[in-house]
Amino acid sequence: MNLVEVLEKLRRETGLLKKLFYLVLILLILFDLFLPRGHAHFLVDKVPAFWTFFTVIGGFLLARFSKGMAHTILGKKEDFYG
């Protein structure tokens, strides 16, 4: 089975992949909860699963802000500069 066939097979199994992905997310949070925090000086080190919160909020804001800018003042037609 070549690479293309593997990829096509995986694309048919989206349900399974989705479940696996969610499982990984949960495991990552659990992993961080039990991580020893010996050298925690700053808030980012003290709060368990800080980077999960940070990524979800930051990623959402970053994507929406950038697309928002593109849809309002930045986006122009291809031939804008002639």
Partner 1 sequence: MDNWIHPAIFYFLGALLLPFIKGLAKKIFILLIPIASIVVVAMSEYGSYGAYNFLGVQGLFGRVDKLSMVFAWVFVIMAFLGALYALHREEDGHHIAGFFYVGSSLGAVFAGDYLTLFVFWEIMAFSSVFLIWYRRKQKAVDAGFRYLLYHVFGGLLLFFGMMFYYAKVGSFAFNAISPSQAAWPEYLILAGFALNAAVIPLHTWLPDAYPEATVEGAVFLCAFTTKTAVYVLARGFSGFEILAILGTAMTVYGVCYAIIENDIRRVLAYHIISQVGYMVAGVGIGTAMAVNGACAHAFAHILYKALLFMGAGSVLYMTGRSKMTELGGLYKYMPLAMIGYVVGAISISGFPLFSGFVSKSMIVAAAHHEGRIWLMLFMNLAGIGTFLSVGLKVTYFTFFGKPPANPVSAKEPPANMLWAMGLTSLLCFIIGTFPQTLYVLLPFPVEFRPYTLSHLSEMMQILAFTGLIFYLLVGKLSPEDKINLDMDYFYRQGTWLFMKFDEKIIAPLDVLWGELYRILGVRGLFGSADLSYKFDQKAIDGVVDNTAYSVVGFGSIVKKLQTGKVQVYIGLSLFMFFAILWFVL
Examine residue 70 and tell whether it contacts partner 1 (CB under 8 A).
yes
Residues 46/37, Cβ–Cβ less than 8 Å: yes
As a three-state string, the secondary structure of 46-66 is HCCCHHHHHHHHHHHHHHHHH
Binding partner 1 by CB under 8 A: which of 1, 19, 45, 46? 45
Residues at the site binding partner 1, with contacts judged by CB under 8 A: 2-4, 7, 11, 21, 24-25, 28-29, 31-32, 35-37, 41-45, 49, 51-52, 54-56, 58-60, 62-67, 69-70, 73-78, 80-81
